[in-house]
Amino acid sequence: NAGVTQTPKFQVLKTGQSMTLQCAQDMNHNSMYWYRQDPGMGLRLIYYSASEGTTDKGEVPNGYNVSRLNKREFSLRLESAAPSQTSVYFCASNGRGPPGPQHFGDGTRLSIL
Amino acid sequence: ILNVEQSPQSLHVQEGDSTNFTCSFPSSNFYALHWYRWETAKSPEALFVMTLNGDEKKKGRISATLNTKEGYSYLYIKGSQPEDSATYLCALGAGNNRKLIWGLGTSLAVNP
């Protein structure tokens, strides 16, 4: 059982390039999340999707777009990467019903030069 | 704006010491309080989810308590071991949306 799978694990981009971070979960969870983690800032929510077909902004959505492609997959796109988007990105999911724990992927370490 | 605060920010203890940390949160619209363990170079891993005032949860040497009326939760580690070294995060679920509000964590280092 893979849980939450993120790809790629590492990426280096030049300023202005675009890329999509992929996330898939095999736990039949309804809700999925994208976070970024920066030193001294903790986990900050970029976007989330409460269920298939819906997406909502989190704390720091500027410069990002998301797609909830189906129940399993939730992708994060940087249209024109900026050095300020250098970070570690985590995808997470949790199921419906009682407030269950969030399950995290291994993270994507993204550097923008 | 809801804010979750954790203290202390960091802690160094000797192997065998017992320790505890605090998570403080606004008690209005409380839905759930989560604790996670986050080892360096890994991803956060859920320890406990608590929903009821007075809840106590235990997993091995780690336990947690919850007071929703006064807005705090304690995480206890009994007989700390070097493998307990990690950052411990708490997160608040408030209202009926599915977002969590995260604290900045307590970084624990256990010296052998």
User: Within 13 Å and on the Cβ side, how many CA atoms surround A78?
Assistant: 25
SS3 for A84? helix
Identify the pLDDT of residue A49. 92
Residue A107's SS3 state is: coil
Q: Which residue of B has its CA nearest to A93?
A: B98
pLDDT for position A97: 54
Tell me what the mean pLDDT of segment A49-55 comes to. 90
Distance CA A95, CA A21 (A): 22
Per the model's pLDDT, the better-predicted residue between A97 and B3 turns out to be B3
Q: Is the CB of residue A108 less than 8 Å from the CB of residue A102?
A: no
Phi-psi region of A61 (alpha: psi -120 to 50; beta: other; left: phi over 0): alpha
User: In this predicted structure, what is the pLDDT of residue A76?
Assistant: 98
Give the chain B residue nearest A6 (alpha carbons). B43
Q: How far apart are alpha carbons B61 and B84 in whole angstroms?
A: 10
For A50-73, what is the mean pLDDT? 93
**Over residues A36-40, mean pLDDT:** 90
Q: What confidence tier does B34 reach under pLDDT thresholds 50, 70, 90?
A: very high
Check CB contact under 8 Å for B102 and A104: no
Chosen for mutation from A102, A106, A108 (greatest number of chain B CBs closer than 10 Å) is A102
CA distance B68 to B45: 23
What average pLDDT does range B5-32 have in this prediction? 93
